[in-house]
Chains A and B, each alone.
Chain A
Amino acid sequence: MKRLMIVDDSNIIRSKIARALGEHGLEVVGLAPNGEDAVERCVSSRPDVITMDITMPGMDGIECIRRIRAVNPTVRILVVSALADKATAIQALKEGAQGFVCKPFTEHDLTEAIGELFSED
């Protein structure tokens, strides 16, 4: 069972993702409301996959991806954010995210993106 950590400053979004992916067979091992928490929990929770918001108070998602990558080069990162511009998405991919889903998203969007994340092509 894949271990999932959800990073998002919105309570509602966190529970929406947790519900959608929990039903999809992922085990939620960590919830982080901001980048700092996420980096900290990433070490203790050892997730296989992280959903990452970009715009958060304090450390933003891009910086958070960079820090997580430094300590965990193998975890898969899916950006889930209201990506206002393409530049941010490109930046996230460059920093090491493997996929993105734009808010607002459906449950299907999420599960499909997670599937893509672990497909080998």
Chain B
Amino acid sequence: MFGIDLGKYRTIVISIALFLIFDLGVLVLNFFISSEIASDAVNVNLAGRQRMLTQRTAKLTLQLENRAAAGSGQATEMKELIAAFSLFDRTLAAFEQGGETAGGDGQPIHIAAVDDPVARTVLAEARRLWDPYQASIAAVIERGRADPETASELVRQAETANLPLLKLMNDLTTRVEELAASKATTLRAVQVAGISLATANFLIILFHFIRHLRESDRELERARRETDDILRTTQDGLFLLDGEGRIGSQFSSSLTRVLGTSQLAGRSFYEIISPAVTPKTLDTTREYIDLLLRHDVKEKLVVSLNPLECVEVNLAQGPGEAEVRYLQFGFNRVFEAGQVTHLLVTANDITRNVLLERELKASEERAKGQMGLLVEILQVEPATMNQFLRSAQDGLQHINRQLREQGSAREVGKETINSIYRIAHRVKGDASALGLTGLATSLHSLEDILSGLRERPALAGEDFLPVTVRVKGLFEEIEALYQAAGRVAQIRGVVSVEAPRPQHDPGVQALPFVQRWQAFAARLATEHDRRVELGYHGIDAETLPDPLRDALNSMVNQFIRNAIVHGIEDRETRRLRGKPETGRLSVYLSSREDGGVDLSFRDDGEGISVAKVREAAVRAGRLSKEEAAAMDSRRVVGLIFEPGLSTRDSVDEDGGRGAGLDTVKALVMQLGGQIRIGSTPGEYCHFRLSLGTLAPRAKAERSVQPQEEVVA
């Protein structure tokens, strides 16, 4: 319409146009008819005046007759007669042909010729009667006065014409009134019709619009229901973010679950995520969202920079307990008229995916890490390891208790952090001392968290959630160590392995018995042109009961002798084997829970040559060649504890008589205990003794059979 696309407004525009056309039509007709009614009213008035003029003319003829008979002046009557006569004549002519006459107020007035046939018949009849009457009056008027005969003749004419003229003028008046009344009726009909049409039009518009409103309401309602269904059933947390970073009023039900709160509408997104992310990530998020809201930067470019791809959230589950969840947020632009007005954000709990991924990675790591862990564990003596693990577990439990006590507290004192820190630091120190680097690193990160907390001005119980999470992890690590250590112990039951590496401890090295061993080793080494160094690690042997201490001293001396005479190679050989020129003897003594002690003696020399022992046994006449060849390696190695057996070719003060290790065996039997041997030819030899505390008399009932193992 008019080249303008009216779209959905077409109907209303047409309706309004029709309404205006109806109104205008009614108005024009109204104007036309009412102006006709107005001129009819003038005609009624003039017709009425004609009636009056017939009477006045008749009355004046009578007065004129009286004056003429009395012979008195006729000037007044004549003047009035002229006025009445000419007014009637002019008006009659105007009715007949249209023209000018005087109005009620004496002003000239133009009227149209009467065209109604009935009225015209009346006028024709009036003309017929008026013409002779008019001629007589005109003759009298022309003469200026009337003599008695003329006056009588005039009266006679008036008597004849007056009544019919009166009746005719009366008829004219009635007829003109009828015409006006009929026009008024037409006018009313037009008005009623116009108003009816306008009303009908209005009703149509109303009906039409109500129907449309209902339809669009229904559509809106349907759309709303669909949106509601989507928001209620989707597994994604969905919401809209405005330019201020505020969450819109509509969001999916899952969002409540994902974010752990239902108080979301109108809240700042940054405020909600701030406890879960670092201040830097929060800043980056702000910048990122700003960037997305600017439409001049390409969306696919920005998407890869999402800083909230994986957010770790600690949710409080009760006093001092927390659950870790991982959330992923995705952002999409929402355009309106080509401008980015909002961001549609999806929030998902990806904990399961993250954990699965981690588990996969962890199992890979475990495959690699278990080796490392085993190596770490192997370097620690089992009793020490157990002692450490127990103490670490105690420490962690102590931390846990404190966390539980503080879990719900509104304010937490710095002393609690300090106390937790001290425990963590002690356990870390122990772990590093034992070479358990993995555990030490975990404890170090716990310390970092605690240092961070220490710097905060005020602390509430919930600030400790990350600590709780770490402690939980540490428990798991310790559990893993326990298990690994258990497995190592099983392995050790079969194979003796790498010795503990004594820690350098000047205090321990200064103990008198250690110094005696060192002096003895040094002297012996000089005599045999060797270089050795003896390191000691463990408890103070002086605190042990005398018999045990003395036995230990003898055994260590035997081991020193055995190592220097049979084990440690000359410097040239050592150099060729890639070993330090100075041989290393390591002594380690620890007490067990049951009151017994474990002694470990290791040298990094030749190790035990099974072949040489076999030869020695044959040479000493202990075995025939055949027996020796048939005997398995473990039993062959066990022969070194037999009296009178030495692998050394010549006898000297310090070896060769085969009277060293049998002494050790005797002592072990006396004390009640076990001997284990581990050795790799060319690398090391390691004796591990578990000694009881029972008095020599009581030990007779115990198994004292030494066990020998060898790593060939």
Residues of chain A whose beta carbon lies under 8 Å from any beta carbon of chain B: 85-87, 89-91, 93-94, 98-100, 116, 121
Contacts and interface: CB of A to CB of B under 8 A. Distances in A.
Contact of B287 (A90, A98, A100, A121): A90
B298 interface: yes
A86 B302 CA distance: 10
Contact of B298 (A86, A90, A91, A116): A116
B291 A86 contact: no
B301 A90 contact: no
Contacts of A98: 297-298, 301
Contacts of A93: 291, 297, 301-302, 305
B290 A94 contact: yes
A91 B297 contact: no
Nearest to B280: A87
A99 B298 CA distance: 8
A100 B280 CA distance: 21
A22 to B, nearest CB: 24
B284 A100 contact: no
A87 to B, nearest CB: 4
Interface in B670-708: none
Given A93-B291, A94-B290, A87 B284 contact: yes
Interface string B284-300: 10011011000001100
A121 B333 CA distance: 14
Contact of A99 (B283, B287, B301): B301
Nearest to A89: B305
A121 B280 contact: no
A22 B683 CA distance: 62
A121 B335 CA distance: 14
B307 A87 contact: yes
Contacts of A116: 298, 301
A87 B301 contact: no
Contacts of A86: 284, 288, 305-307
6 contacts: A86-B305, A90-B305, A93-B305, A94-B287, A94-B290, A99-B298
A94 B284 contact: no
Contacts of B283: 87
A19 B521 CA distance: 71
Contacts of A87: 280, 283-284, 287, 307
A91 B287 CA distance: 7
Interface of B: 280, 283-284, 287-288, 290-291, 297-298, 301-302, 305-307
6 A-B pairs with least C-beta separation: A87-B284, A86-B305, A90-B287, A86-B307, A89-B305, A93-B297
B666 to A, nearest CB: 68
B-side interface mostly:
helix
Given A87-B283, A93-B291, A121-B298, 12 more contacts: A86-B307, A87-B287, A89-B305, A90-B284, A90-B287, A90-B288, A90-B302, A90-B305, A90-B307, A91-B287, A98-B301, A100-B301
The winner among B287, B302, B305, B307 for most chain A CB atoms within 10 A is B305
A98 to B, nearest CB: 7
B25 to A, nearest CB: 58
A90 B280 contact: no
A-side interface mostly:
helix
Contacts of B280: 87
A111 B288 CA distance: 26
A98 B295 CA distance: 12
A107 to B, nearest CB: 20
A19 to B, nearest CB: 25
A94 B291 contact: yes
Contacts of A91: 287
B672 to A, nearest CB: 64
Nearest to B286: A90
Contacts of A85: 284
Contacts of B287: 87, 90-91, 94
Nearest to B296: A98
B301 to A, nearest CB: 6
B78 to A, nearest CB: 109
B287 to A, nearest CB: 5
A87 B283 CA distance: 8
B318 to A, nearest CB: 35
The winner among B290, B297, B302 for most chain A CB atoms within 10 A is B297
Contacts of A121: 298
Nearest to A119: B298
A85 to B, nearest CB: 8
Contacts of A100: 301
Contacts of B305: 86, 89-90, 93
The winner among A89, A90, A121 for most chain B CB atoms within 10 A is A90
Contacts of B290: 94
Contacts of B297: 93, 98
Nearest to B288: A90
The winner among A93, A99, A100, A121 for most chain B CB atoms within 10 A is A93
A112 B16 CA distance: 60
A112 to B, nearest CB: 12
A3 to B, nearest CB: 22
A121 B290 CA distance: 20
Nearest to A86: B305
A13 B302 CA distance: 25
A1 B297 CA distance: 24
Nearest to A83: B305
Contacts of B298: 98-99, 116, 121
Contacts of A99: 298, 301
A93 B280 CA distance: 17
A78 to B, nearest CB: 11
A93 B288 CA distance: 10
B310 to A, nearest CB: 12
Contacts of B284: 85-87, 90
B525 to A, nearest CB: 56
Contacts of A89: 305
A25 to B, nearest CB: 22
A86 B307 CA distance: 7
Nearest to A100: B301
B278 to A, nearest CB: 11
Nearest to A99: B301
Contacts of A94: 287, 290-291
Nearest to B281: A87
A90 B297 CA distance: 10
A64 B709 CA distance: 71
A90 B307 CA distance: 10
Nearest to A121: B298
A62 to B, nearest CB: 12
A67 to B, nearest CB: 19
B298 to A, nearest CB: 7
Contacts of A90: 284, 287-288, 291, 302, 305, 307
A86 to B, nearest CB: 5
A90 B282 CA distance: 13
A99 B302 CA distance: 9
B401 to A, nearest CB: 39
B187 to A, nearest CB: 70
Nearest to B284: A87
